[in-house]
């Protein structure tokens, strides 16, 4: 077939598919040849070739046959002038990352920006050259900046977050994609963003040629809207479908935004089909995100979903001890009295950010007034934080949470029935009311169907005894306490 005949065929295709589809999908095709019934085209990207093959192949074949060309199938080849992505010579990554880098045509759109990529800082504070920084496409793709403090070395591991930490470590090792997607969820200030940044740092250091894109769900939505406004959807699709690792923080922000969810859904599917790694964070489990489409929920739930539990006392104390060591680099002469860290870990249980902010304020205040950090200074400096962190759990909230946990009705906890299946949860609820509220024993008794305060005392003592002998009761109480304090 000659170029002239291909031009005539394109004119007929324009009338059939319309101007927008023609401009986006047909016009970029560069006809090469017809060989043994196969029409060969050059395309800018693999994505375009795949899309045309799936959506317009039958129409193009029909037009070929009408023009007298016996074509049975189409073949799409990426233009040969696509630049190759640099790969670390000393260390070839394990599969599937090696396979990703063996197909440079998938990433040529980002490569054109590499020579101008700025120098950036690693977590260790070492400068990367312009070329080396370019090899970490987080900057080249204008991703969200990574905080050098948020590395695995600075992450304090405890029982509430050990599973999430282990899963993040496993993904950061590279190699075969086993958890896809990895979804980290939990409340504010529990370490989701820290782990996301740590994964990105680890991957870009271990595999400099890897295309890692980290951004928030809000940034994803902004880029999508911008691409629609500027009519650059092809660039948008190529950008997000050509990454090796896509990391989206706070995915709950796309809930209720139908067009953004649809594009996220298609991007998700395209990356999974290419065996690319996806890492997501949210403030709650995917199934609990209101206004998130069911098909998006099901995709997020098909991988490894890990909960970061509210911090316990031991973890908060460990975090404070770690942060104190970091603060000593700035305030080497400040002394901190015994019991201050334990006091803060006990009183500030909302989230880690508040805890870190309180410690930073404490060191700054002590350095300004030239005093040792003791209990009096702590209570004076952090009076507002301590007031805000006071427990405000109600008896009704405890009753409701306990009844849900044991799968019984709230009326059974308050009511007169003495069956063990009701009595034991009732005693657990009384124990939690005593420990987590400021209510007196008579007040608690009145909230439990008008019971006497001696009944409440008996219930509290019984649970205290069982906690030391019955592992299940101890676990139930701890789980309920965490749920109520979160």
pLDDT on residue 142: 57
Taking CA atoms, 179 is separated from 37, 174, 272, 417, in Å, by: 42, 11, 11, 47
The string of pLDDT tens digits covering residues 138-195 is 333 456 788 888 899 889 888 888 899 999 999 998 877 778 899 999 888 888 999 9
Q: Which two tokens stand for residue 339?
A: 């019991």
Which has more confidence, 291 or 81?
A: 291
pLDDT on residue 137: 36
- Whole-model pTM? 0.56
What average pLDDT does range 370-377 have in this prediction? 87
pLDDT on residue 349: 77
Kind of pairing, strands 73-78 and 245-249?
unpaired
Q: Which two tokens stand for residue 269?
A: 């599917």
pLDDT on residue 140: 39
pLDDT on residue 166: 92
Q: How confident is the model at residue 79 (pLDDT cuts 50, 70, 90)?
A: low
Contact 306, 278 (CB under 8 A): no
The mean-pLDDT minimum among 53-57, 246-250, 475-479 falls in 53-57
Tell me what percent of the residues of the chain surpass a pLDDT of 90. Answer: 12
What average pLDDT does range 225-243 have in this prediction? 85
The string of pLDDT tens digits covering residues 182-224 is 999 988 888 899 999 999 999 989 888 888 899 988 889 988 9
Contacts of 266 (CB under 8 A, 6+ apart): none
pLDDT on residue 87: 36
- Given a cut of 60, whether residue 128 has pLDDT beyond it is no
| Average pLDDT across the chain, whole number | 80
pLDDT on residue 486: 62
Task: Sort residue 175 into left (φ over 0), alpha (ψ -120 to 50) or beta.
Answer: left
pLDDT on residue 133: 37
Contact 59, 47 (CB under 8 A): no
The string of pLDDT tens digits covering residues 82-111 is 333 333 333 344 444 433 333 333 333 333
pLDDT on residue 274: 87
pLDDT on residue 1: 65
The string of pLDDT tens digits covering residues 54-63 is 888 888 888 8
Taking CA atoms, 357 is separated from 195, 329, 345, in Å, by: 19, 17, 13
Tell me the residue length of the chain: 486
- Given a cut of 80, whether residue 113 has pLDDT beyond it is no
- Given a cut of 90, whether residue 430 has pLDDT beyond it is yes
CA atoms of 424 and 430, how far apart (whole Å): 10
How many CA atoms, within 13 angstroms, populate the side-chain half-sphere of residue 293?
A: 14
What average pLDDT does range 248-266 have in this prediction? 90
The string of pLDDT tens digits covering residues 432-471 is 998 888 788 888 998 898 899 999 999 999 999 998 888 8
The mean-pLDDT minimum among 111-115, 313-317, 447-451 falls in 111-115
CA atoms of 22 and 13, how far apart (whole Å): 7
């Amino acid at each position: 077939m000659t170029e002239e005949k291909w031009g005539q065929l394109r004119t007929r295709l324009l009338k059939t598919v319309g101007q927008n589809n023609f401009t986006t999908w047909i016009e970029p095709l560069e006809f090469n040849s017809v060989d043994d019934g196969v029409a060969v085209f050059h395309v800018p990207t693999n994505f375009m070739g795949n899309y045309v093959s799936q959506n317009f192949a039958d129409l193009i074949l029909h037009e070929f046959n009408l023009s007298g060309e016996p074509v049975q199938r189409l073949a799409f080849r990426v233009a040969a002038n696509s630049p190759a992505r640099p790969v670390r010579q000393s260390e070839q990554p394990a599969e599937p990352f090696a396979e990703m880098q063996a197909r440079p045509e998938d990433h040529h759109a980002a490569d054109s920006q590499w020579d101008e990529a700025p120098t950036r800082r690693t977590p260790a504070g070492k400068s990367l050259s312009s070329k080396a920084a370019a090899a970490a496409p987080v900057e080249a793709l204008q991703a969200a900046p990574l905080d050098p403090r948020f590395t695995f070395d600075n992450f304090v591991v405890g029982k509430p977050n050990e599973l999430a930490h282990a899963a993040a470590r496993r993904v950061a090792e590279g190699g075969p994609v086993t958890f896809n997607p990895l979804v980290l969820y939990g409340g504010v200030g529990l370490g989701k963003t820290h782990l996301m940044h740590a994964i990105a740092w680890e991957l870009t250091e271990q595999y400099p040629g890897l295309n890692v894109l980290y951004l928030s769900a809000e940034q994803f939505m902004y880029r999508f809207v911008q691409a629609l406004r500027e009519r650059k959807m092809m660039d948008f699709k190529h950008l997000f479908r050509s990454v090796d690792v896509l990391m989206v923080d706070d995915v709950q922000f796309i809930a209720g935004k139908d067009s953004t969810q649809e594009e996220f859904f298609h991007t998700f599917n395209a990356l999974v089909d290419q065996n690319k790694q996806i890492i997501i964070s949210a403030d709650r489990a995917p199934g609990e995100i209101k206004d998130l489409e069911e098909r998006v929920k099901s995709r997020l739930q098909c991988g490894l979903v890990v909960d970061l539990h509210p911090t316990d006392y031991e973890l908060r104390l460990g975090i404070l001890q770690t942060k104190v060591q970091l603060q000593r680099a700035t305030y080497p002469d400040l002394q901190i009295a015994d019991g201050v860290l334990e006091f803060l870990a006990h009183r500030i249980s909302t989230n880690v950010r508040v805890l870190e902010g309180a410690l930073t304020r404490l060191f700054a205040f002590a350095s300004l007034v030239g005093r040792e950090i003791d209990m009096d200074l702590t209570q004076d400096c952090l009076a507002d934080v301590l007031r805000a962190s006071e427990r405000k759990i109600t008896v009704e909230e405890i009753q409701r949470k306990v009844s849900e946990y044991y799968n019984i009705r709230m009326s059974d906890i308050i009511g007169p029935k003495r069956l063990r299946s009701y009595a034991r949860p009732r005693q657990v609820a009384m124990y939690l009311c005593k420990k987590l509220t400021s209510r007196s024993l008579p007040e608690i008794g009145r909230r439990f169907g008008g019971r006497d305060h001696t009944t409440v005392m008996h219930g509290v003592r019984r649970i205290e005894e069982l906690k030391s002998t019955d592992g299940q009761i101890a676990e139930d109480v701890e789980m309920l306490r965490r749920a109520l304090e979160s």
